[in-house]
A and B are shown apart, each in its own frame.
Chain A
Amino acid sequence: MSDHDKNDHSGQDRRGFLKCMAWAGTGAVFTVSGGIASSVSLGQAMAAPAKAGSFTFMQVSDSHVGFNKPANPDAAATYREAVGKILALPQKPDFIIHTGDITQLSKDQEFDDADQIIKAAGLQVFHVPGEHDMLDEGQGKAYLDRFGQGTKGAGWYSFDHKGVHFIALINVANLKPGGMGSLGADQIEWLEKDLAGRPSSQPIVVFAHIPLWTVYADWGWGTDDAAQALGYLKRFGSVTVLNGHIHQLTQKVEGNIVFHTARSTAFPQPVGGQGPSPGPLKVPTEQLHSMLGITTATFVRGSQPIALIDSTLAA
């Protein structure tokens, strides 16, 4: 696995971007690093981080606890299965990142159920809200009451872990008519300060719900003011941007920034523009699990881009 990383990374000084989208078949694992995909087994992948300072963390996304429509009559059950996959990993990850849409309708019961499910993993969880987590009367107050401790504004924060700087951004608050995701001037100003003075050699991981690059504008799959935020990240040698929202894998590399969206644990959505709307995609029941999944991110010290491995809930 780490061999793949090194090989792939040698081609990374190429400017412009690479875009790829792939579906892993039943039981297969999809590896991406530097924009090049290769299939390895999850066992192989997890055997990698033996080196000192190396670590693994998980990304789960769009659990939509409370969703019970035809595309998945029990989103809580598939979220539980996703947590089961994490528990079954041969090596324990350091923590979990949840990239939003924890709940379907921001109901207390949904937040409670989601908490109970993820707690079973026995790991620390770092959250950002999706637009579905902002639907209470207080427009995000319910989320902040649970997860907002020590955060700023609508809930943004950053932390360091084993030399890697993690930044949680909120792009689902105060959305403007006709627009897409939005970070807002206050958050961008905070980001500039948060990054100032950090060495460009420090690996950065940014996570937010809506993609920080425009995947498909007609469906609002992008963030209006992301360019300014990304401008502050350009000087860093290794930046990994993890998003959710679109319930499918997408990947793009621009300079030293790797953009990646994770599968949902609840229901798939169509590829941008392929269908009448970005609504839940109803697939035959036996196919559902191969379209839901989790992402394993492995940081190996000295080998630049963080290796992202997407695995499905099938098999």
Chain B
Amino acid sequence: MFKTLKAGALALALLPGCALALEWSSAAVAQAAAPAGPTVKIDNFVFGPQAITVSVGTTVTWINQDDIPHTVVANDKSFKSKVLDTDEHFSFTFTKPGEYGYFCSLHPHMTGKVIVKAG
């Protein structure tokens, strides 16, 4: 769904006089990404940004924008999402400073990192 909207927005952007439709598209996209705080997008089998730095207490949200399911699993298993189908998201609040490497347990070549800074 997300992909379709994105593609639609792109096509419309090439046509003059479609500003209204374009706005509607972005609104729909914003709605899908409900939770506040930093987000990591899963797009084309890549976590983006691949590394993210946050302060303690921050909730990070991952959103799957692929047509294929993915997961978010900490290398040390300190957090683990259920399977995320298209447009589904997973949030985790980091309460301890440190570096948290994570990966997709379906496609383990997909890796990312959350760096949590004290205070």
Which A residues lie at the B interface, using CB under 8 A? 69-71, 104-106, 131-132, 134-135, 137, 175-180, 217-220, 276-280
> Looking at chain B's contact residues, is the secondary structure mostly helix, strand, loop, or mixed?
loop
**B94 near A: Cβ within 8 Å?**
no
Q: Which of B67, B82, B102, B109 contacts A279 (CB under 8 A)?
A: B67
Contact of B103 among A69, A70, A106, A177 (CB under 8 A): A177
- Report yes or no: B85 in contact with A105, Cβ–Cβ below 8 A: yes
CB distance from A237 to the nearest CB of B (A): 35
B46 within 8 A of A: yes
| Pairwise interchain contact A219-B109, C-beta atoms closer than 8 A | yes
CB distance from B93 to the nearest CB of A (A): 22
List, sorted by A's number, 14 A–B pairs whose CB atoms are closer than 8 Å. A69-B86, A70-B3, A131-B105, A132-B69, A135-B71, A175-B108, A177-B75, A178-B103, A178-B108, A218-B109, A276-B44, A277-B44, A278-B45, A279-B68
Chain B residues whose C-beta falls within 8 Å of the C-beta of A217 in the assembled complex: 109
- B85/A220 in contact, CB under 8 A: no
Q: Taking the nearest CB of chain B, how far is it from the CB of A212, in angstroms? A: 16
User: B1 — nearest CB in chain A belongs to which residue?
Assistant: A69
Q: Say yes or no: is B107 at the interface (Cβ < 8 Å to chain A).
A: yes
Contact across chains for B69 and A179 when beta carbons are under 8 A apart: no
Assess the A179–B44 pair: CB atoms within 8 A.
Answer: no
Which residues B56-70 have CB closer than 8 A to chain A? Answer: 66-69
Tell me if B111 and A177 are in contact (CB < 8 A).
yes
Distance A278 CA – B71 CA, assembled complex (angstroms) = 16
B106 close to A180 (CB less than 8 A)? no
How many positions in chain B have a CB within 8 Å of any CB in the partner chain? Answer: 24
Per-residue CB contact flags for chain B residues 78-119 toward chain A (1 = under 8 Å, else 0) read 000011011000000000000001110111110100000000
- The answer to whether B4 has its CB under 8 Å from any CB of chain A is yes
CB neighbours (8 Å) of B71 from chain A are: 135
Chain A residues within an 8 Å CB radius of B46:
277
**In the complex with contacts A177-B108, A180-B109, A220-B108, A277-B83 CB distance below 8 A:** no
- Determine which of B4, B85, B86, B109 lies in contact with A178 in the assembled complex, contact meaning CB atoms within 8 Å: B109
- Please tell me which one of the listed residues A69, A131, A179 contacts residue B106 in the complex, with CB atoms under 8 A apart: A131
Residue among B4, B83, B102 with the highest chain A CB neighbour number at 10 A: B83
A105-B85, A177-B75 given; A135·B45 CB < 8 A: no
Residue on B with the closest CB to A221? B109
Shortest beta-carbon distance, A44 to chain B, in Å?
38
B108 in complex: contacting residue of A132, A180, A279, A280, CB < 8 Å? A180
Cβ–Cβ contact A179 & B109, under 8 A = yes
